[in-house]
């Protein structure tokens, strides 16, 4: 009990000092300002940080007036949302000397009901904008999201996949309305294939030769947890990336990381259709309906494309990424949606899924 009280006092002192420092922070003058007037950013947790981070990366000063209570709530409730006030020189809590043409975001402009368009409106809603999935938050926080990658390197004509395949965590999606194959089922499907391989380090890829072609290459976290700064480089060695769903929804940051280097998504139809704009078969993705269809694609299609066809799809993937998924392009589309008074759907993960249960 005494230790708990001591820790609470230490936290209070730490928060007080951090708040005082933030309160005294004065941003450099800038005509591009995002003014945040949000009462409940916690609803969107990591995705709210990402939304604001996109504006900061696009050259905006961030202003978020708040009192000490809100500051503490943001700082301590969620490790990703907390980056808003923990990241150095990220925002100012002062509202003084605002330029005339600020971009202002408020609670009622956004909704966490991200998937209603898919389930209830035939996937068509012209009066709304869905903020797309993005990289893992730490990629932006650590400034490694735009590291220079050789997207023109000679690639293996193989399928790559990486991540956590823990059955306990990644079977929750079966209790939702989504019908995508779980990542556990996808791993089981590929493990039974003759050309399956599980790697144990970066050198397994960068030192591989042509015999690595026509393989199903998995970096399973328990065997090889890829360093975040290496992810995009390793993805750029492959023509295709197998897109596995997240914990409770199809969307997962891995697909965006793959597309950023032109690696073509191998993706289930439902997953492709909850990305906006939807991915298209043989244009910027290879899309399968179910495991039987995936089996046919593996046997008869995926490794038969010419280098020219691969090059066209790769360039289409990069074009999609640059038009819809970079911070600058996202901010451009969000600002346009604000001007047109469209509803902006922002991910809230479990909360978004609960709307369609």
Whether residue 123 is found in the same domain as residue 81: yes
Whether residue 113 is found in the same domain as residue 255: no
Q: Let me know if residue 295 belongs to a domain.
A: yes
Confidence bin at 210 (pLDDT 50/70/90): confident
Residue scoring higher pLDDT (333 or 121): 333
Q: Let me know if residue 329 belongs to a domain.
A: no
Burial degree of 283 (CB within 10 A; 0-12, 13-18, 19+):
middle
Whether residue 183 is found in the same domain as residue 112: no
Contact 177, 249 (CB under 8 A): no
Q: How many CA atoms lie within 13 A of 344 on its CB side?
A: 24
For the cut 90, the answer to whether the pLDDT of residue 196 exceeds it is yes
Confidence bin at 169 (pLDDT 50/70/90): confident
d(CA 33, CA 16) in angstroms, rounded, equals: 26
Whether residue 128 is found in the same domain as residue 149: no
Contact 241, 317 (CB under 8 A): no
15, 29, 227, 254, 291 from 278: Cα distances, Å: 43, 39, 30, 17, 21
For the cut 80, the answer to whether the pLDDT of residue 232 exceeds it is yes
Number of domains in the chain: 2
Please give the model's pTM, rounded to 2 decimal places. 0.95
Beta carbons within 8 Å of 212's beta carbon, 6+ residues apart: 156, 158, 205
Whether residue 122 is found in the same domain as residue 150: no
Beta carbons within 8 Å of 215's beta carbon, 6+ residues apart: 156, 158, 159, 195, 196, 197
Whether residue 165 is found in the same domain as residue 292: yes
Ramachandran region of residue 97, left (φ > 0), alpha (ψ -120 to 50) or beta? left
Whether residue 292 is found in the same domain as residue 161: yes
Average pLDDT over residues 125-139: 96
Write out the E strands in the chain. Answer: 33-37, 61-63, 103-106, 110-111, 128-130, 156-163, 196-198, 216-220, 238-242, 264-268, 286-288, 343-345
* Digit-coded pLDDT (tens) for 248-273: 999 999 999 999 999 999 999 999 99
Tokens 């823990």: give the residue: 166
Q: Are strands 216-220 and 156-163 parallel, antiparallel or unpaired?
A: parallel
Confidence bin at 97 (pLDDT 50/70/90): confident
CATH assignment of the domain containing 304: 3.40.50.2000
Q: Let me know if residue 192 belongs to a domain.
A: yes
Q: Let me know if residue 335 belongs to a domain.
A: no
Q: Let me know if residue 60 belongs to a domain.
A: yes
Whether residue 95 is found in the same domain as residue 229: no
Q: What are 199's two structure tokens? A: 């790697």
Q: Let me know if residue 162 belongs to a domain.
A: yes
- ∠280-233-348 over CA atoms, to 5°? 55
Structural domain boundaries enclosing 87: 2-132+347-354
Q: Let me know if residue 219 belongs to a domain.
A: yes
Q: Let me know if residue 333 belongs to a domain.
A: no
Whether residue 126 is found in the same domain as residue 165: no
Confidence bin at 96 (pLDDT 50/70/90): confident
Whether residue 198 is found in the same domain as residue 168: yes
Q: What percent of the chain has pLDDT over 70?
A: 100
Whether residue 71 is found in the same domain as residue 180: no
Nearest CA-CA partner of 193 in 330, 113, 303, 333: 303
What secondary structure letter does DSSP report for 59? T
Whether residue 265 is found in the same domain as residue 158: yes
């Amino acid at each position: 009990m005494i230790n708990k009280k001591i820790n609470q006092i230490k936290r209070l002192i730490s928060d007080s000092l951090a708040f005082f420092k933030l309160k005294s922070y004065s941003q450099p003058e800038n005509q591009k300002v995002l003014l945040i007037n949000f009462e409940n950013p916690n609803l969107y947790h990591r995705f709210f940080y990402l939304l604001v981070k996109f504006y900061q990366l696009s050259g905006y000063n961030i202003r978020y007036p708040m009192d000490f209570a809100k500051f503490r709530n943001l700082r301590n409730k969620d490790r990703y949302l907390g980056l808003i006030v923990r990241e150095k020189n990220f925002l100012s809590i002062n509202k003084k000397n605002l330029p005339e043409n600020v971009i202002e975001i408020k609670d009622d402009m956004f909704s966490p009901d991200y998937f209603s368009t898919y389930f209830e409106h035939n996937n068509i809603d012209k009066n709304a904008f869905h903020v797309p999935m993005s990289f893992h938050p730490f990629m932006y926080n650590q400034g490694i999201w735009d590291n220079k990658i050789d997207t023109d390197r000679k690639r293996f004509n193989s399928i790559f996949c990486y991540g956590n395949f823990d059955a306990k965590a990644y079977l929750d999606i079966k209790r939702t309305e989504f019908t995508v194959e779980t990542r556990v089922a996808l791993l089981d499907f590929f493990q039974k294939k003759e050309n399956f391989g599980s790697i144990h380090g970066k050198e397994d890829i960068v030192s591989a030769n042509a015999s690595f072609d026509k393989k199903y290459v998995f970096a399973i976290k328990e065997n090889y947890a890829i360093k975040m700064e290496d992810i995009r480089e390793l993805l750029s060695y492959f023509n295709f990336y197998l897109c596995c769903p997240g914990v409770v929804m199809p969307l997962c940051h891995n697909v965006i990381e793959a597309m950023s280097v032109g690696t073509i998504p191998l993706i289930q139809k439902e997953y492709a259709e909850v990305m906006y704009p939807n991915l298209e078969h043989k244009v910027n993705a290879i899309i399968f309906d179910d495991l039987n269809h995936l089996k046919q694609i593996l046997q008869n299609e995926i490794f038969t494309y010419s280098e020219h066809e691969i090059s066209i799809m790769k360039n289409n993937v990069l074009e999609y990424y640059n038009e819809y998924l970079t911070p600058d392009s996202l901010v451009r589309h969000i600002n346009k949606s604000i001007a047109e008074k469209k509803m902006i759907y922002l991910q809230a993960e479990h909360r978004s899924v609960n709307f369609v249960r």
